Amino acid sequence: MQPMIIILKEGTDSSQGKSQIISNISACQAVAEAIRTTLGPRGMDKLIVDNRGKATISNDGATILKLLEIIHPAARTLVDIAKSQDAEVGDGTTSVVLLTVEILKNTKTFIEDGMHPTIIIRAIRKATALATKKVKEIAVYVKSDDAKEHRALLEKCAQTTLSSKLIARQREFFSKMVVDAVLMLDELLPLNMIGIKKVTGGSLEESRIVDGVAFKKTFSYAGFEMQHKKFLKPKIALLNIELELKAERDNAEIRLDNVAEYQKIVDAEWSILYDKLEKLHAAGVNVVLSKLPIGDVATQYFADRDMFCAGRVQEDDLKRTQKACGGAIITTVENLNEQSQQVMGTCEIFEESQIGSERYNFFTGCPKAKTATMILRGGAEQFIDEVERSLHDAIMIVRRAVKNDSIVAGGGAIEMALSRTLRDYSRTVPGKEQLIIAAYAKAFEVIPRQLCENAGFDATNILNKLRQKHAENHMWFGVDIMHEDVSDNFTAAVWEPAVVKINAITAASEAACLILSVDETIKVPKSSAEPSNAAKAMNMA
């Protein structure tokens, strides 16, 4: 009798073979069920409550998957592709997960019948290359020199993205706002130059866009009310200095033998502070912004000299102000004088005004960088959070459309066109690959089918109509949500940047191949180490 060889630690869970691949596919299908109903203009929203009791209402696939805290190792792949789609193009996160799961579901039967995963993976890679090539071929290039026409194109792309969000009814209003914000940026289109601020209360239509920087009024001391709240072409100093009397360090000890000595120490402290304040005033500064606190003495000093100050400004706001108004964030005022203009910023108008129950500082007409700030209004806090997520998706899409000027029709049209192309191609391929490419082609139909199901339509009927239209070479026909029918979505202006689809197809195929190529999962048990003496003591306490 041969001795038993133990390689793995006791309690290690190991499963392998065909059953493991099928189990992973089933886990992925369970994840897709959670977000299946969020797809499209008639998609439902999900309310997710985390372990701290914070409620999030969302329609965005990536957000939902992040909050679900999935622990199944294979299903985590879906969360990663949704995140990558969100980071790369912003939209299409639900589509990419559904597509992956549909590819896996359609290839599951082949695995069950004993086909080797490598053959399936090879065929999927072949079909993916063909699909992405087809998207590039049929995409319409709209390189419009006419600014008005180009803007209309960007607005249509933004509206298509927003049509599946909570703010679908206000999509015209918000798509204009998003396009304005993106067009204000420089040619690199940096995302961090668009600030989004949320003010609860008021209606959605009261949201506005500021051509410059805006941030909420910071904590202020007495004397703040006396300061000027509006300046034309001010000099702005951006500081990383604390302008208040510092508390002594812990355990600091000074031994004195008379009162005069003590008075000198107090005077020195005050003179250090006043020296800094006088240097700022002498340099002709009108607006002082600091990342660190500005105390009551400094606030009163600036108020007496018609200067404005704000302390504890958030770092990202300070950096956007620096990029927009110019200047530099300085850590000392020693060398500051009238001549040191390059370290100071400026803008056309600075003013502080009321928005809802909050006061906001506005810097408009900034000469240096192109920057924009959106101020969102709305009822509930969760609602404004979801509006922010929706606008983030729209901003990403518009950025993509500016950089990549090719578009395709949405609403399931491009998916049906790809499905037909791949189905036709599969018939020319001999061997097992024919079946797999045909299954891959069928997987694309999940998008139009799910759009119909979410809107309560008869999916079979509409898909049959779509197949018939595409067989007659009407390649832009997709689902018409408004009239429960099929329509030419290109003329209906349901447009999406082609890069969104290419990214979704590539990511979905990669994820499907990854899950199919895993045939063994080994879970190492958590170590049950003896608790240390310190841990025992803490439990005792």
**Secondary structure string (H, E, C) spanning 6-70:** CCCCCCCEEEECHHHHHHHHHHHHHHHHHHHHHCCCCCCCEEEECCCCCEEEECCHHHHHHHHCC
| pLDDT above 80: residue 536 | no
What pLDDT does 538 receive?
A: 59
Chain segment 19-38, per-residue pLDDT in tens: 888 999 999 999 999 899 99
Cβ atoms of 296 and 221 closer than 8 Å = yes
- Helix (H) / strand (E) containing 372: strand 372-378
Provide the pLDDT confidence category of residue 111 given band limits of 50, 70 and 90.
very high
Extract the tokens encoding 48: 């997710």
What pLDDT does 541 receive?
A: 46
What pLDDT does 519 receive?
A: 85
Mean pLDDT of 176-182: 91
As a whole-number percent, the residues of the chain with pLDDT over 90 amount to 38
Kindly give, in sequence order, each residue whose CB lies less than 8 Å from that of residue 263, ignoring residues fewer than 6 positions away.
none
Mean pLDDT of 90-99: 91
Q: What is the dotted CATH code of the domain comprising 13-141+408-523?
A: 1.10.560.10
Q: What sign does the dihedral 364-365-367-371 (CA atoms) show?
A: positive
Give SS3 for 232.
strand
| pLDDT above 80: residue 10 | no
| pLDDT above 90: residue 443 | yes
CA angle, residues 489, 448, 32, in degrees to nearest 5:
140
Extract the tokens encoding 463: 């898909």
Cβ atoms of 110 and 462 closer than 8 Å = no
**Closest to 283 measured CA to CA, from 320, 232, 336:** 336
Is the pLDDT higher at 261 or at 469?
469
Decide whether 13-141+408-523 matches 212-368 in CATH topology: no
Mean pLDDT of 466-490: 91
Cβ atoms of 414 and 492 closer than 8 Å = no
Q: What is the dotted CATH code of the domain comprising 212-368?
A: 3.50.7.10
Cβ atoms of 108 and 452 closer than 8 Å = no
Domain boundaries, given as residue ranges, for the chain: 13-141+408-523, 212-368
Mean pLDDT of 328-339: 81
What pLDDT does 82 receive?
A: 92
| pLDDT above 70: residue 414 | yes
CA angle, residues 464, 467, 472, in degrees to nearest 5:
130
| pLDDT above 50: residue 285 | yes
Supply the mean pLDDT for the chain.
Answer: 87
| pLDDT above 90: residue 219 | no
CA 412 distance to own-chain centroid: 24
| pLDDT above 60: residue 421 | yes
Cβ atoms of 189 and 182 closer than 8 Å = yes
Among 126-130, 186-190, 318-322, 325-329, which stretch is predicted with the lowest mean pLDDT?
Answer: 186-190
Is the pLDDT higher at 114 or at 9?
114
| pLDDT above 50: residue 342 | yes
What pLDDT does 459 receive?
A: 92
Mean pLDDT of 451-474: 93
Is the pLDDT higher at 248 or at 407?
407
Q: Exposed e or buried b for every residue in 105-141, given b needs 16+ CB within 10 A?
A: bbbbebbeeebebeebbebbebbbebbbebbeebbee
